[in-house]
A and B are shown apart, each in its own frame.
Chain A
């Protein structure tokens, strides 16, 4: 129960990263691999600044800006350098590896490359909120209620889940709003039909750069929050992040659908939480080790990609078989198309 609660908290933070991945993969139709690097850039920037004594809010904001810049550079590589999208992302990802070591190195005198920055006795966004939240005494009230209801292990605080939930919901609504503005519509059209949007006076290069910047700003924000949540920043923490983001997007879309933007962004957020829960359950299986998690992640994504196809095919087969059976039973010839609306 407690492990599950923790995974929900993390899932809600990772949802911000998943929204970033959604923005590139789905909206812009740009498979952006910068994410593995920019996630750590966010974590490293926030951790470094917090260690150096900056306010955690300013540190988090700086992380967002760093992510934005990283995304914009990937965009420049692709649009101005005419480099293939996948390769632009990979180049940026590998470049960020060194940059991230340097960023974390800034915490130490003459430390060129540092691969881990702990945040043990420092303020974070979460401790700041906790100071205020703890004084309200709501935690005890809820815990007592749960204990009376027979729940034995209760989390120490509900402040963290509340604060991440607020941040993620705000970001979801901003994303919903942004994708409906004139610029947002143009970005969506860029991913949908570049030729069309160019003929309506939109600079697709600039829109791609902006979209990648915003996406990686979200990814870096998630990185900054995860670093403060788990109280360290590590050079390895971004490995496979893109696949996790993709898994969240795909799982969410498969379960909740993509009918409207509002629905889809909700699906992505929910997908990220569900992914974390599957992850938590998988970790509890005896014969699996934490090292197996990347394999499990890959497996989840493959399942989420393949299963819907199989289900669709089965449905179609059944529908066709049913129709043929009905037709054979009634000896009715194939239906003739009726003319109605001349353009329908």
Chain B
């Protein structure tokens, strides 16, 4: 489904600020895989997400989605395959537009936009039934401006918009990090439901180890631009936070120094 081949990226090459962001990353996702990614700040998690979405181009290596080589495709073309939810709840929706208009934009993700009405009777019904899955009563507020919604509601809407057209790859970039714990839990629960309902191939970055353990069938740990640990489908159940900490010490020969990674 998704294949990253020897991806390398260096920021500020040739300057004193030079930083190896990604160092020979190889990753394969089978259809239906749900991979959670953990790692401390600057480990390269977000850079890797941006490589897949096309917001950044690799210096070397290739990205393949659905057996299409998309390495040189710009972000907006790759978006045909990719649904994405950002960390910032404000980033995934257009605040001055209504809920149904936002959904209409998301609905056109994998087709050509034309001069048809973005919202018609048939689509409105579809939007309404889709919104019901969120249990937030948004289905009765179709014409409310998205800017009026709370951060949690906006993030739930972003999640629905990214998933309801069944993308080949779903990218979740710390999408619960900016929310308070109870709302984060709700979004986590919704993520699980929506991903399972359509068996979406998903890649989720998180700072929260517990969330990384609770969700998904595979787990990878990144550090200094490399994937240092891959936990396979059969090993992941039963894995605990102390296990991960010990594993990190074992690999890196140093203690994991991020409280944030632990507490999220």
Contacts and interface: CB of A to CB of B under 8 A. Distances in A.
Given A198-B75, A203-B76, A343-B152, A181 B118 contact: yes
Interface string A191-216: 01101111111111000000000000
B79 A200 contact: yes
A189 interface: yes
A202 B94 contact: no
B104 A182 contact: yes
Interface residues of B, number: 43
Contacts of A195: 86, 91
A196 B183 contact: no
Interface of B: 53, 75-77, 79-80, 82, 84, 86, 90-97, 101-102, 104-106, 108-110, 113-119, 136-137, 150, 152-153, 156, 161-162, 182-183, 186
A260 to B, nearest CB: 9
Sorted nearest first, the 4 A-B pairs with minimum C-beta distance are A201-B79, A343-B152, A192-B94, A182-B113
Nearest to B90: A193
10 contacts: A181-B118, A182-B117, A183-B113, A183-B115, A192-B95, A195-B86, A199-B82, A200-B161, A341-B137, A343-B152
Contacts of B114: 181-183
Contact of B186 (A178, A198, A204, A343): A343
A182 B114 CA distance: 6
A199 B53 CA distance: 8
B118 A185 contact: yes
Contacts of A178: 115
Nearest to A197: B105
A181 B183 CA distance: 34
Given A197-B105, A199-B84, A202-B76, A192 B97 contact: yes
Given A199-B53, A201-B77, A344-B153, A181 B115 contact: yes
B40 to A, nearest CB: 25
Contact of A201 (B80, B101, B161): B80
A186 interface: yes
Contact of A193 (B95, B113, B119, B137): B95
Interface string A175-187: 0001011111110
B109 A201 contact: yes
A200 B78 CA distance: 9
Contacts of B91: 193, 195-196
Contacts of A333: none
A196 B110 CA distance: 15
A181 B116 contact: yes
A176 B163 CA distance: 30
A342 B96 CA distance: 24
A188 interface: yes
Contacts of A341: 136-137
